[in-house]
Amino acid sequence: MPSNRQRSHDFIQQRYVLSTMGFMALAIGYVQRFCLSLAITEMAEQRHHTVRQDANLGTVCPDVRSFGNSTLFKKEMEFDWDEKTQGLILSSFFWGYVITQMPGGMLADLYGGKATLGLGMLFSSIGTIITPFVARSYGPSELIILRLIIGLAQGPLYPAMSRLLATWVPIEERGRLGSLVFAGAQVGNVASMQLGGFLMRYTNSWTSVFYAFGIFGILWLMFWFVLIYNHPSRHPFISAKEKEYLNTAINAVDPEEGKLSIPWKSIATSGPVWGLIIVQIGHDWGLFTIITDLPKYMKSVLRFSVVENGLLSGLPYIVMWLVAMGSGFIVDSMLSSKYFTVTCIRKTFVTIASVGPALGIIAASYSGCDKVLAVTSFTIGMGLMGTFVPSLKVNALDLSPNFAGTLMAIVGTIGCLSGVIAPYIVGVMVPNSSMEEWRDVFWLSAAILIATNLLFLQYGSGNVQPWNEKTNRQYKSSDINNENNTTSILKPL
C-alpha cells in the first residue's frame, strides 16, 4: 500500500473533485425529481372533508391558520386534479426512471459515466424548466408524459455515478466519499422542500421552483463536462502521485480502452445481488412514499402552511444527510480497525436504515394532531435512513467494481418499481386524506421495510464476487478480504 507520504499529492486530488461534483449531481437530480411533490400542494386542491367534520371525527387536524378552508395561494389553485390523478403525476417520473437504468448502467460500464450522466442531467434540466408551460398549456396527460421523460433522463444517474466511483475511489475511502456523493440526494430533498417553499412563498407562484432548479442544473453541467473524466489515466489535471496511487489501489478497466464482457448469468444467479435488490425495493418504497407524499400529509392532515410545509418536510432529510455523513466516517473507521468484516458492517447499517424509519413513521401516525411529536417522529425515523448511504448505496461497488454501473442499474431498475407503484397506491388508499387512511399507508411502508431487511440479512454480502474478474483483461484491485480482515492486492496473472 502507498505510504501516507505518497498520498500527499502536489495538486488538488481529483477524486475529491469528482466526489464533490457527484454530490452536486445527486442534489440537483433530486431537487428536479421531487420539487413537484411540494409544488403540487399549491397547484391542485387536496381533497378532504370539511374542517369542522374532520375535527369532530379526529381524522384531520383543525386549521389554526385561518377561518374556513382558505389556502395561502388560492388564486394559484389552477388544476382540478383528484388524489388519484395527482398520484399518477407524481409516480410517472419513475415509469421512465425504470426504463433507462439498465441501458444507462451498460453505457457507463462500456463507454464511461461522464457523458452518460451529463447528457441525462441536461434533458432533466430542460424538462424541469418547461414543466409550468406543459402543465398550463396542455393537461395532466401531457404533464405525465413530460415527467416520464424527465425520469428517462435521470435513469442513468446512479449507475453512471457508481461506475465513476468504482474507477476513482479505493475501498478504504468508499465509506466517507460514497457518503458525500450519495448524501447529495438528501440535500436535494431538503432544497426541494425548504428552498422550494420559500421560493413559492416569496414569488407568490409555484412555477418559480421549476425555473430556478432547472437553470441551476444547466449551470452545473458546464463545470461537469470540463472537470470530470472517466478514468485517472485520461485526466489532464491529475498529479502523478494521485494517478500512481489510484492505479495501485484500484486499476479498474478503462471503459475507453478494452470493452468488458458482462457476466449476465452469474449476476442473475447471485444470491448477494438478489439480497441487495430486495432491500433496495424496501428502501425505495419507504423513501419514495415519504418524499412524494409527506408534503401532502403535512398540508391535508396536519394543516401546515406552504412555508411551514417546506421547512418541516425538509427536516428529515437534513438529519438524514447528517447521519449519512457521520456514518460514512464510522464505517471507514470500523473497516480500518480490522475488527469487522465488510459484510457485517453493510448489514448492520442497512438494518438501522430499515428498522429506524419503520418505527419512526408508525410513531408519527399515532401522534394525532400533536404537530411537534409528529414532526419529531418523522425526523428521527427518516433521519436514521441516512445509514443506508455507506451501506446499501456502496454495496454494488463491493460486489463488483468492474460492473458497478450495470449492477447498480439492475438493482435500481427493480428497486425503483416502488417509486412507480407507491405514489399511486397511496393515492388510492387516501381518497379522503384522513388520518386513519394515512396510518394504513405508514403501516404498509413499515412492514415492507422490515421484511426486505430480513431477507438482506440472509442473502446480503460485502465480498467481491468471483464473476467480477470476467473481463477482457485481468483486474487488479485493492480488496478487503472479508474472511480474515486483511488487505491484499490482486495481481494480474
Q: For 91-106, how does the pLDDT look when each residue is reduced to its tens digit (9 = 90+)?
A: 899 889 889 988 998 8
Counted residue by residue, the chain has a size of: 493
Stretch 466-491: mean pLDDT, rounded? 45
Identify the band that residue 447 occupies on the pLDDT scale cut at 50, 70 and 90: very high
| Residue 367 falls inside a structural domain | yes
The one-letter amino acid code at 463 reads N
Identify the band that residue 117 occupies on the pLDDT scale cut at 50, 70 and 90: very high
Quick one: which of 14, 40, 33 has its CA closest to 426? 40
Q: Can you tell me the distance from the alpha carbon of 101 to that of 117, in angstroms, rounded to the nearest whole number?
A: 11
pLDDT tens track for 151-200 = 999 999 989 998 899 888 887 788 888 888 988 988 888 888 788 888 98
Stretch 407-428: mean pLDDT, rounded? 83
Quick one: which of 280, 390, 377 has its CA closest to 326? 390
Indicate the range of 7-21, 80-94, 315-329, 466-480 predicted with least confidence. Answer: 466-480
Stretch 34-39: mean pLDDT, rounded? 86
pLDDT tens track for 222-242 = 999 999 999 888 888 888 888
Judge whether 379 and 316 are in contact, CB under 8 Å.
Answer: yes
What pLDDT, on a 0 to 100 scale, did the predictor assign at position 389? 85
Residue 480 has pLDDT above 60, yes or no: no
Residue 488: strand pairing partners: 479
Residue 402, all three cell numbers: 468492474
| Residue 251 falls inside a structural domain | no
Residue 462 has pLDDT above 60, yes or no: yes
What pLDDT, on a 0 to 100 scale, did the predictor assign at position 470? 58
Residue 486 has pLDDT above 70, yes or no: no
The one-letter amino acid code at 33 reads R
Radius of gyration of the chain (CA): 23
Q: Can you tell me the distance from the alpha carbon of 192 to that of 447, in angstroms, rounded to the nearest whole number?
A: 28
Stretch 458-485: mean pLDDT, rounded? 62
The one-letter amino acid code at 161 reads M
Residue 62 has pLDDT above 70, yes or no: no
Residue 44: strand pairing partners: 79
Which CATH number fits the domain that encloses residue 291?
Answer: 1.20.1250.20
Judge whether 20 and 180 are in contact, CB under 8 Å.
Answer: yes
What pLDDT, on a 0 to 100 scale, did the predictor assign at position 253? 54
| Residue 241 falls inside a structural domain | no
What pLDDT, on a 0 to 100 scale, did the predictor assign at position 198? 85
DSSP string, 151-185: HHHHTTHHHHHHHHHHHH--GGGHHHHHHHHHTHH
Q: Can you tell me the distance from the alpha carbon of 25 to that of 203, in angstroms, rounded to the nearest whole number?
A: 26
Q: Can you tell me the distance from the alpha carbon of 397 to that of 415, in angstroms, rounded to the nearest whole number?
A: 17
| Residue that wins the pLDDT comparison between 475 and 74 | 74
Residue 23, all three cell numbers: 454530490
Residue 56 has pLDDT above 80, yes or no: no
| Residue 258 falls inside a structural domain | no
Residue 479: strand pairing partners: 488
Stretch 324-330: mean pLDDT, rounded? 89
| Residue 247 falls inside a structural domain | no
Indicate the range of 16-25, 146-155, 247-256, 476-485 predicted with least confidence. Answer: 476-485
CA-to-CA separations, 1 to 6, 190, 372, in angstroms, rounded: 10, 39, 51
How many folded domains does the chain comprise? 1
pLDDT tens track for 305-325 = 766 766 777 788 888 889 988
- N-term to C-term CA, the chain: 19
Identify the band that residue 251 occupies on the pLDDT scale cut at 50, 70 and 90: low
Indicate the range of 133-137, 269-273, 310-314, 379-383 predicted with least confidence. Answer: 310-314
Count CB-CB contacts under 10 A for residue 489: 12
| Residue that wins the pLDDT comparison between 312 and 116 | 116
| Residue 8 falls inside a structural domain | no
What pLDDT, on a 0 to 100 scale, did the predictor assign at position 9? 46
Stretch 465-482: mean pLDDT, rounded? 54
Q: Give percent of the chain with pLDDT exceeding 70.
A: 83
Please give the backbone phi and psi of residue 481, each rounded to the nearest 5 degrees, phi first. Answer: -80, 110
What pLDDT, on a 0 to 100 scale, did the predictor assign at position 252? 57
What pLDDT, on a 0 to 100 scale, did the predictor assign at position 156? 92
| Residue that wins the pLDDT comparison between 354 and 472 | 354
Stretch 326-348: mean pLDDT, rounded? 90
| Residue 74 falls inside a structural domain | no
Task: Give the H/E segment covering residue 408.
Answer: helix 404-415
| Residue 256 falls inside a structural domain | no
Q: What is the mean pLDDT of the chain?
A: 82
Range of the domain at 21: 14-63+81-233+264-485
